[in-house]
Structure 1
Amino acid sequence: MKLVIMTKSTFFVEENIILSALFDEGMTNLHLFKPGAAQLYTERLLTLLPEEHYKKITLHDQYYLKDEYGLAGIHIDNPMEDIPNGYKGNVSRTCCDLSSLKMMKKKSKYVFLKNIHDCIEFKKEKQTFNNMQLMEASRSGLIDKHVYALGGMSIDNIKAAKDLGFGGVVICGDLWCRFNIHNQMDFKDLISHFKKLRYAAD
């Protein structure tokens, strides 16, 4: 199954160094998620990353930077938001309920099904589905290789997501909690955990 890494929602000093190291370790799909960030900071992070990895980065905002930097595509978090006028390229989306999942899949390269578990980074975002609902969605073909599990995904529940038929998992808090952005310089634990995530997702 596919392994998607989502950035921490805030910028931090060592971020470009860690992201570059993750690319070197085989990260193939990075979602740049910085809600409310100024363009200046987003561009600064991009310019600090090796250009050969731009094609592995998907934007959650400031979509116009996609063509400017030759990025992989854009991701639309708001289910009500339309694709930008004139946009051509890969589009992925976030879906919050099973009733709209089928329609979302038709308009997207892949879809994040949100709140599979309680979110690690955003504590107010809680689990939306029970296991029976997910099993039924899997049996009916709603959950397939184009649907990725988002929300509280960790090394401990990747296998369960795989068994349900998800095509990928989106990892955020389970990775970034391995590094303290305020007082830590050594990110060996984070890289080691990424390797375990890759192995679990294969």
Structure 2
Amino acid sequence: MELIVIARPTFFKEECHLVNQLFEAGLSVFHLRKPTEDEATHRKFMDGILPEYHPRIALHHFHVLANDYHMKRIHHTESFRKERDKDIWPADKILSTSLHHLADLQQIHQYDYSFFGPVFNSFSKPGYRGVVPPNFRLEKQQGMPKIIALGGIGLTEIDQVNEMNFDGVALLGSIWSDPSQALSIFKKARAKCQA
């Protein structure tokens, strides 16, 4: 099962160092999502990440930075995806998006993968309740992009997400609630996803 880490919504001291450590420990994809931060702050963050890891970072905002930093991944929010002309997609990028309703699956065929959630009650967004019913199992159709579970996922939920037939998990709150434990939690989560 794939493991993705999503950035904490605001920058914090030592974040670049920690993200470099996560990559060194085997992180394959990091989503840079800082909705209230400006372009200059995003550039400062990217300058703090080792260049060999830039292609593994997905940009949620300031997509123009992708070319400046040789990044291969672009993320479209659900609202951006619904407003955008569907004929204009960068062919040389790995594209991701987000879903909150499984009924929208047919709208994302041009994407490589999509987040879906919140699967469980969110750690990082209090009041953001899980949307999957008990005994949920994702039914995948041929040609469907990979679906990555998001929301309320910690070490104890990874096995359950796997049983639900998701292609992977995205961690945010469980990684960043205590940055001093981020690397340790990531290593444990990675071991569970590879088991």
- Common fold: TM-score over 0.5: yes
Q: Which amino acid aligns with 2:29?
A: N
Aligned mate of 2:188, from 184, 192, 196: 196
Q: State the Cα distance separating 1:82 from its structure 2 match.
A: 2.3
Indicate if the aligned counterparts of 2:5 and 2:172 stay in contact, CA closer than 8 A. yes
Give the structure 2 partner of residue 91 of structure 1.
Answer: 95
Summarize the Cα distance change of 1:81–1:125 in structure 2 as closer, same or farther, 3 Å threshold. Answer: farther
Q: Which residue of 2 aligns with 1:173?
A: 173
Rounded to whole Å, the distance in 2 between the matches of 1:24 and 1:90 is 21
- 1:159-170 pair list within 5 angstroms: 159-170=159-170
Deviations 1:90-146 (A, max 9, x none): 210100101112332x121001012111111111322122124x32xx2x3259771
Hey, what's the Cα distance between the residues in 2 that align with 1:147 and 1:176? 22
SS in 2 for 1:75: strand
Overall identity of the aligned pairs, in %? 23
Matched position secondary structure for 1:42: helix
AA at the equivalent of 1:115:
P
CA–CA separation in structure 2 for the residues paired with 1:128 and 1:81: 24
Q: Deviations over 1:136-160 (max 9, x none)?
A: xx2x325977100011111111111
Q: Partner of 2:84 in structure 1?
A: 82
Q: Equivalent residue for 1:154?
A: 154
Q: Tell me which stretches of 4 or more aligned residues in structure 1 moved more than 6 Å.
A: none
Q: Which runs of 5+ in 2 are unaligned?
A: none
Give secondary structure in 1 for the equivalent of 2:112: coil
Please say if residues 4 and 170 of structure 2, whose CA atoms lie closer than 8 Å, have aligned partners that are also in contact: yes
2-side partners of 1:118 and 1:142: how far apart?
A: 27
1:193 corresponds to which letter in structure 2? I
How many Å apart are 1:23 and its aligned residue?
A: 1.1
- Counterpart contact for 1:7–1:33, Cα < 8 Å: yes
TM-score by length of 1: 0.87
Paired position in structure 1 for 2:116: 113
Alignment check: 8 A CA contact 2:54 2:69 kept = yes
Q: Report the residue type matching 2:49 in the other structure.
A: L
Where structure 1 has 5 or more consecutive residues not aligned to the other structure, the ranges are: 180-186
Q: How far apart, CA to CA, are the structure 1 residues paired with 2:130 and 2:153?
A: 11
Aligned residue pair count: 189
